[in-house]
Structure 1
Amino acid sequence: MATQSPFSWAAQALPDLAAQMAHKFSNSFQPPEWVVDEAVNRMVLFLNHVLMSEPEAMARLARQKGQRIELVWERVQLQLTPTPAGLLARGHFEGFDLRLTVTEDSPVTLASALARGDKPKVRIEGDVQLAAEINWLIDHVRWDAEEDLARLIGDAPAHTLAQAARQAMTALRSFVAQRPGTGLRTGSAA
């Protein structure tokens, strides 16, 4: 006679409960404005760091200097302007040349998609040429974390840590893909 574990409900209920709690938390929690502002500053610095490793990306952005790009996700709005040097500067402007609005409401679903290596669903408004350049950047520019880490701790330890991180990311993608109810396939391309 097969008996069911008294904790079998937890395997089904906990992921749903966690998603509901994350959604409620994201709707009710508003960090202080200075925290958001500083986080955005750090994100722009990081984007520029990544861009500086790719001369073609900087050349493409330099051709778009002065354009107004607005990124929107729920309550978060980020305004950027390409500089003549081919980097990004925070902007504070009315209107936009290109607005990219992430249409996914759930932070959990968005994080899952990013963990799988998928692009989030985005509504695009504005300049088609600028949108094509931004899409090229998204498709071709990648952060080489191993190279940055090697500058701090050396090549061999950086390679070992990067390899461990890649294995962990593969395991995370596999876990997300196999979650019941997500409708994802295990063999999806990253």
Structure 2
Amino acid sequence: MVKPSSPFAFLNDLLNRVGSRLQPPPWAVHEVQHRAVLFLNHVLQQEPEAQQRVLRQQGKVVQFRWRFVKMALVATPAGLLDLASEGAVPDLTLTLTEASPFDLARTTLSGDKPPVQIVGDVQLAAEVNWLVDHVRWDVEDDLARVIGDVPAHAVSNAARRGVQALRKFVGDRRAATGAAPGADASSVGPAGTA
């Protein structure tokens, strides 16, 4: 009996073909990366322990890779992040090995960490793992600055309920199809891969 293919298989294939042929201009990539760094620093500034951990790794470069996307960040003397200079040699390379954006979203929504290949500085990898596990964006606090405390609390509660419902739906679908949960990216194998 032939197992039916995922309805997302066509979209995955289309995304692969389009992504490999259509690359955004370098200035657009730089702008998106710059905005991502600003956001990450905003989140880091809400957690002093996180800034101390980043400060201990000052000058080290972490490169993130997923499919045809890559971004290199360097820890600054302020305990924040900046884009690494072009050609900087990474001390740590983290590569998301899940190629499908749909499977990556499903893994993330179910509360699992996506599979990651880790190459480089093990101590730096442990610090990055701590940041991933412990630093969260306080959306409600930022929203309260714009619309006030009570509406921000109501919007945040509604969003939390929506995310919980989505996670339950993804978990139920995963259980119904018998799919295995995603690999834990926090374990490092003997060859430096997860």
Instruction: Provide the TM-score with structure 2 as the length reference.
Output: 0.81
Cα RMSD of the aligned pairs, angstroms, is 2.2
What residue in structure 2 maps to residue 38 of structure 1? 31
Query: Where in structure 2 are the equivalents of 1:21-170 lying within 5 Å?
Result: 21-92=14-85, 93-170=87-164
- CA drift at 1:184: 5.9
- Matched residues, number: 175
- Counterpart Cα distance in 1 of 2:96 and 2:11: 22
Larger radius of gyration: 1
Relative to the length of structure 1, the TM-score reads 0.82
Q: Spell out structure 1 runs of 4+ moving beyond 6 A.
A: none
Higher RCO, 1 or 2 (CA under 8 Å, sep at least 6)? 2
Alignment deviations for residues 117-140 of structure 1 (CA, whole Å, 9 cap, x no partner): 221111111111111111111111
Question: Gaps spanning 5+ residues in structure 2: where?
Answer: 182-194
The answer for the alignment partner of 1:183 in structure 2 is 179
CA distance, structure 2, for counterparts of residue 15 and residue 73 of structure 1: 19
Counterpart of 2:166 in structure 1: which amino acid? L
1:3 match: none
**Residue deviations 1:2-21, cap 9 Å, x none?**
xxxxxxxxxx9745555554
1: CA distance between counterparts of 2:154 and 2:138?
Answer: 14
Unaligned runs of 5+ in 1: 1-11, 186-190
CA–CA distance in 2 between the matches of 1:62 and 1:96?
A: 17
2-structure distance, mates of 1:184, 1:167: 25
